[in-house]
């Protein structure tokens, strides 16, 4: 799918991987709907991008709020062709900590945002994409989801995060198979260590050790490198039903 003139909806689009994807899509000539809870940052990015961008404040796990974002895409640009799911949270806790068992509500919140939120956006954007006129090969839309290498190498304290991202990995192929008859592709990116707001709280000495453990390049990823892969997925019609690790060959240690 060529990006020029198409419309993309990007969740978590006000920062990190999402913001880099927003800019990548816009610079390639696409219209962009930025979905995020951070109104100030989202409005700022949209104002810089100008008429080709809109911001919608939304919780990705809320059906009505995501429906509003999809409707905004149609109202502003007449269609929706691409969805990039970058919204996510992390809340580490051990199964048994110093104060007792893990807090179930905290576990459920991570699943709700990361896994249920992703599926909510997938189902609603796919419904919109299915109305598009088919392009080359009958393609109507592309959905890019974001997992994590924690889905494969979850560390101590990451049970909730790893479970939520593992769910995204596991549903990639069935989503692609479900949506194939509508001409909609689904691909998941599983990033490693990236320089995003989620990584901002990691102590510098621990960040340095993790970067050194990455075979090559031995550093944290730049969000634009995620955005480049997202763009390639959109533009390459044979990428479908696959999970792509983007991690410099890193395999996370237990801690």
Q: What is the pLDDT of residues 121-146, one digit of tens each?
A: 999 999 999 999 999 899 999 999 99
Q: Specify the length of the chain in residues.
A: 255
pLDDT of 198: 77
pLDDT tens, 70-120?
A: 999 999 999 999 999 999 999 999 999 999 999 999 999 999 999 999 999
| Mean predicted lDDT score pLDDT of the chain | 95
Distance CA 98, CA 254 (A): 19
Largest CA distance in the chain: 57
Global confidence as pTM: 0.95
Average pLDDT for residues 9-37, to the nearest whole number?
98
Q: Determine the Cα–Cα distance for residues 80 and 102; give it in Å rounded to an integer.
A: 40
CA-derived radius of gyration, the chain: 18
Residue 161 a catalytic site member: yes
pLDDT over 90 at 199, yes or no: no
Query: What's residue 206's pLDDT?
Result: 78
- Among residues 161, 194, 220, 226, the one annotated as catalytic is 161
Contacts of 207 (CB under 8 A, 6+ apart): 193, 199, 220
């Amino acid at each position: 799918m060529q990006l020029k003139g198409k419309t993309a909806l990007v969740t978590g689009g006000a920062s990190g991987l999402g913001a880099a994807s927003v800019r990548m899509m816009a610079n390639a000539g696409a219209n962009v709907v930025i979905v995020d809870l951070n109104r100030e940052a989202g409005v700022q990015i949209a104002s810089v991008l100008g008429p080709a961008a809109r911001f919608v404040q939304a919780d990705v796990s809320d059906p009505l709020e995501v429906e509003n974002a999809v409707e905004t895409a149609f109202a502003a640009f007449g269609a929706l062709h691409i969805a990039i799911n970058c919204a996510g949270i992390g809340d580490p806790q051990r199964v048994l900590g110093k104060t007792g068992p893990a807090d179930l509500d905290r576990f459920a919140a991570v699943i709700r945002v990361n896994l249920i939120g992703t599926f909510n956006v997938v189902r609603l954007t796919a419904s919109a994409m299915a109305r598009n006129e088919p392009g080359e090969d009958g393609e109507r839309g592309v959905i890019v989801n974001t997992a994590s290498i924690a889905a494969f190498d979850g560390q101590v304290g990451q049970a909730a995060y790893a479970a939520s991202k593992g769910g995204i990995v596991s549903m990639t192929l069935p989503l692609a198979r479900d949506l194939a008859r509508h001409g909609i592709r689904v691909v998941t990116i599983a990033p490693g260590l990236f320089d995003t707001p989620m990584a901002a709280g990691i102590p510098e000495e621990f960040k340095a050790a993790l970067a050194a453990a990455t075979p090559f390049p031995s550093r944290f990823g730049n969000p634009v490198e995620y955005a480049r892969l997202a763009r390639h997925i959109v533009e390459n019609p044979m990428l479908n039903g696959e999970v792509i690790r983007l991690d410099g060959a890193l395999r996370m240690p237990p801690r």
